[in-house]
């Protein structure tokens, strides 16, 4: 691996990245707060017929229950499954607690969700030399302060740190050193790579790429030609190389709303009517925060759970609620007639900038 400082040509020091991930977070919180749920298969999420599982306890996972699984399927897999309503306020409060613990060690924290974050501890506030010791301390503090367990992955880049945190779950940690990195990726099925979703994995399989090794055997040109902008990322991660920095205080990149219908729909008018409350919700958020954006994305989930997204970017920030609705409806109209009935629609606005932050403007020269 040829990491070097572009200004001096000196080899840059190996980075120390920790990926912390709470174990079965929502489900563990519910089991913590309700002793009757301990040791039992628990699913947090909609118990309604059309809901999906947001999180499953380890007891439920033994039955194959997974997050994003329709509740009906989950119940079939595990008839004794106990459904619990999510309590996001509680999860958010714990999330703040664990971030405060991270912040005792480094300001360079990139949260991925309420229960997951990357930390760059190459230089850390307490001068602890080994990242694995920092991870041990953080996990012990999380346990002491929240009663919950977390797992950690420690490596020299984000991609491998995230893989590593899965390796000793739950309540464990694992180090992938620079010497181990490339070999660790080689046998891995491409679908396990963070950033490779089911559609990309299927495309890779169709091209004969099943593991990290298979990607590694391809040229950069081949990967670029087949995977566009992501080709280079896949090419490099298959070699255990990932130069993406840990981005502290990452700003929220989009605001969105979605809704699952009580019955599947396919008529334009009915779908357009369903868009309106979503547009209202997104716009209310924009007004409350002062955020504005210029990319509108429509998400359509079909009855068979296939999801498509369609986006449109406009030159200047979307100015008002009605503009947002017009753009979202336009995206929907372009998809008519739909090939299948629709179970969910989502609308989001991205390329956000905050209130007062000027957007790129055309200025008139004098």
Taking residues 21 to 40 in sequence order and writing x for each that binds Mg ion by CB under 5 A, - otherwise, the string is xx--x---------------
For the chain, strand residue ranges (E) read 17-22, 42-45, 53-56, 82-84, 109-113, 116-120, 150-155, 173-175, 254-265, 295-302, 307-313, 342-350
Q: Identify the DSSP state of 64.
A: T
* CA separation for the pair 26, 31 (Å, rounded): 9
88-147 positions binding Mg ion, by CB under 5 A: 115
Check binding of 325 to Mg ion (CB under 5 A): no
Cα 8 to chain center, whole Å?
Answer: 36
Catalytic, out of 116, 123, 357, 359 = 116
| Phi/psi-derived region of residue 111, left when phi > 0, alpha when psi is between -120 and 50, beta in every other case | beta
- Residue 277 CB neighbours (<10 A): 12
Stretch touching Mg ion by CB under 5 A, among 14-22, 94-102, 158-166, 232-240: 14-22
* CA separation for the pair 290, 26 (Å, rounded): 30
Query: Is 295 within 8 Å of 313 (Cβ atoms)?
Result: yes
Give the residue carrying structure tokens 């990242």: 131
Q: Cα torsion for 23, 25, 28, 32, to the nearest 10°?
A: 120
Smallest distance from the beta carbon of 55 to Mg ion, in angstroms? 8
User: Shortest Cβ contact with Mg ion: which residue?
Assistant: 21
Given the complex with Mg ion, which of 142 and 300 has the nearer CB atom? Answer: 142
For residue 21, say whether it is annotated as part of any ligand binding site.
yes
Stretch touching Mg ion by CB under 5 A, among 16-24, 53-61, 206-214, 282-290: 16-24
Decide if 306 is catalytic: no
Given the complex with Mg ion, which of 13 and 195 has the nearer CB atom? Answer: 195
Taking residues 175 to 214 in sequence order and writing x for each that binds Mg ion by CB under 5 A, - otherwise, the string is ----------------------------------------
Determine the size of the site formed for Mg ion (CB under 5 A): 4
Burial grade of 8 (CB within 10 A; 0-12, 13-18, 19 or more): exposed
For residue 264, say whether it is annotated as part of any ligand binding site.
no
Annotated binding-site ranges: 21, 115
Annotated binding-site ranges for Mg(2+): 21, 115
Residues designated catalytic: 116
| Binding region for Mg ion (CB under 5 A) | 21-22, 25, 115
């Amino acid at each position: 691996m040829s990491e070097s400082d572009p200004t001096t040509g000196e080899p840059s020091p190996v980075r120390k990245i920790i990926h912390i991930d709470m174990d079965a977070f929502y489900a563990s919180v519910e089991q913590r707060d309700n002793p009757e749920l301990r040791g039992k298969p628990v699913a947090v999420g909609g118990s309604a017929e059309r809901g999906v599982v947001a999180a499953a306890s380890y007891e439920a996972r033994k039955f194959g229950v997974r997050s994003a699984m329709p509740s009906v399927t989950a119940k079939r897999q595990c008839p004794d499954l106990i459904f619990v309503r999510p309590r996001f306020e509680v999860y958010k409060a714990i999330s703040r607690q664990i971030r405060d613990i991270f912040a005792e060690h480094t300001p360079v924290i990139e949260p991925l969700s309420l229960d997951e974050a990357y930390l760059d501890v190459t230089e850390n506030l307490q001068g602890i030399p080994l990242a694995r010791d920092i991870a041990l301390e953080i996990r012990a503090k999380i346990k002491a302060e929240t009663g919950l367990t977390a797992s950690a992955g420690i490596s020299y880049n984000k991609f491998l740190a995230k893989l590593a945190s899965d390796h000793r779950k739950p309540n464990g940690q694992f180090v992938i050193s620079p010497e181990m990195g490339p070999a660790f990726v080689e046998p891995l099925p491409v679908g396990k790579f963070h950033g490779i979703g089911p559609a990309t994995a299927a495309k890779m399989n169709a091209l004969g790429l099943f593991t990290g090794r298979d990607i590694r055997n391809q040229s950069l040109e081949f990967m670029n030609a087949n995977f566009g902008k992501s080709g280079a990322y896949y090419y490099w991660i298959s070699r255990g190389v990932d130069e993406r920095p840990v981005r502290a205080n990452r700003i929220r990149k989009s605001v969105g709303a979605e809704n699952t219908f009580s019955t599947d729909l396919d008529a334009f008018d009915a779908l357009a009517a369903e868009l309106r409350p979503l547009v209202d919700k997104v716009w209310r958020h924009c007004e409350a925060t002062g955020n504005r954006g210029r990319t509108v994305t429509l998400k359509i989930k079909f009855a068979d759970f296939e999801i498509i997204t369609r986006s449109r970017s406009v030159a200047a920030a979307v100015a008002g609620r009605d503009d947002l609705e017009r753009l979202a409806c336009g995206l929907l109209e372009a998809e008519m007639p739909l090939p299948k009935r629709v179970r969910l629609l989502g609308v989001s606005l991205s390329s956000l900038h905050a209130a007062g932050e000027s957007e790129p403007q055309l200025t008139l020269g004098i």
